[in-house]
Amino acid sequence: EAEVAQSPRYKITEKSQAVAFWCDPISGHATLYWYRQILGQGPELLVQFQDESVVDDSQLPKDRFSAERLKGVDSTLKIQPAELGDSAMYLCASSRDRDQPQHFGDGTRLSIL
Amino acid sequence: QQQVKQSPQSLIVQKGGISIINCAYENTAFDYFPWYQQFPGKGPALLIAIRPDVSEKKEGRFTISFNKSAKQFSLHIMDSQPGDSATYFCAALNSGGGADGLTFGKGTHLIIQP
């Protein structure tokens, strides 16, 4: 079964540094999501793409976070500068289209020192 | 404002028993309700989902019961096995809204004792 690929699996960095996460959705999936999951909580949506266009980024802290999906396939989420409160699991999900089930990758665990 | 409330926070069930996890929602525009299973260090995996035009959906040992008037839905795991030990999340979506981000509950940590 095809999977959503994410890298790196773990990232440890100091506050004020820049970090980047990469996601490769399931082949043919037009919709891509980035979620943030704080330990002990459910995931919360940061940004949604339909092909290369942003559908919703209302919950993305745009002063420090950015996301792109330039060719409508893989995507990168960036944080600059990182803050202590950014420590969390960053999950990528994809779906065949907007009204289809969402499938998650195994995430990137970010720790800010 | 927590739009999807999940209970219990943790649950211990004997092997072979029935595990029941409940969720309640506030937004009447929600029309898609999936359940996800998450193991430590892994992403959430879709288990089963329901839309409000049916009151129950069963897939193997997993059943969703849906009560539209009460704005509640629940997951039942029959013949619970140690391999079912994981964190379970309910979620909800308004598919007619401007975006498709799932609203998740806070999760239930399920332990199946052998």
On the question of a cis peptide bond just before residue A61, with omega within 30 degrees of 0, the verdict is: no
Print the SS3 string covering A62-88. Answer: CCCEEEECCCCCCEEEEECCCCHHHCE
> Which pair of structure tokens corresponds to residue A84?
């202590």
- Give the residue from A96, A110, A9 showing the smallest Cα distance to A64: A110
Query: How far is A67 from B94, CA to CA, in rounded Å?
Result: 24
Q: Do A42 and B46 touch (CB under 8 A)?
A: no
A101, B34 contact by CB (below 8 A): yes
Query: How far is B57 from B48, CA to CA, in rounded Å?
Result: 8
Q: Give the per-residue pLDDT at A1.
A: 64
Q: Do B99 and A56 touch (CB under 8 A)?
A: yes
Model confidence over B41-65: pLDDT tens digits? 999 999 999 999 999 999 999 999 9
Q: Give the per-residue pLDDT at A98.
A: 85
Q: Give the per-residue pLDDT at B98.
A: 78
Q: Is B96 in the A-facing interface, judged by CB distances under 8 Å? A: no
* Backbone torsions φ then ψ of A57, nearest 5 degrees: -135, 30
Query: How far is A42 from A63, CA to CA, in rounded Å?
Result: 24
Model confidence over B74-88: pLDDT tens digits? 999 999 999 999 999
Q: Do A48 and B100 touch (CB under 8 A)?
A: yes
Q: What is the dihedral of CA B94, B10, B111, B19, to 10 degrees?
A: -60
Model confidence over A53-65: pLDDT tens digits? 999 999 999 999 9
Q: Is B34 in the A-facing interface, judged by CB distances under 8 Å? A: yes
Neighbours of B47 (CB within 10 A): 18
Q: Do A43 and B102 touch (CB under 8 A)?
A: yes
Tell whether the torsion through CA atoms of B34, B46, A87 and B85 is positive or negative.
positive
Of A55, A102, A105, the CB nearest to B102: A102
Q: Which residues of B touch A56 (CB under 8 A)?
A: 98-101
- On average, the pLDDT of chain A sits at 95
Q: What is the mean pLDDT of residues A70-74?
A: 91
**Closest approach of B10 to chain A, Cα-based (Å):** 11
Query: How far is A19 from A7, CA to CA, in rounded Å?
Result: 12
**DSSP tag of A51:** T
Query: How far is A29 from A99, CA to CA, in rounded Å?
Result: 12
Q: Do A42 and B101 touch (CB under 8 A)?
A: no
Q: Do A106 and B43 touch (CB under 8 A)?
A: yes
Of A44, A99, A107, the CB nearest to B95: A99
Matching residue, tokens 């940590």: B109
- Give the residue from A19, A17, A30 showing the smallest Cα distance to A93: A30
pLDDT at A69 over 80: yes
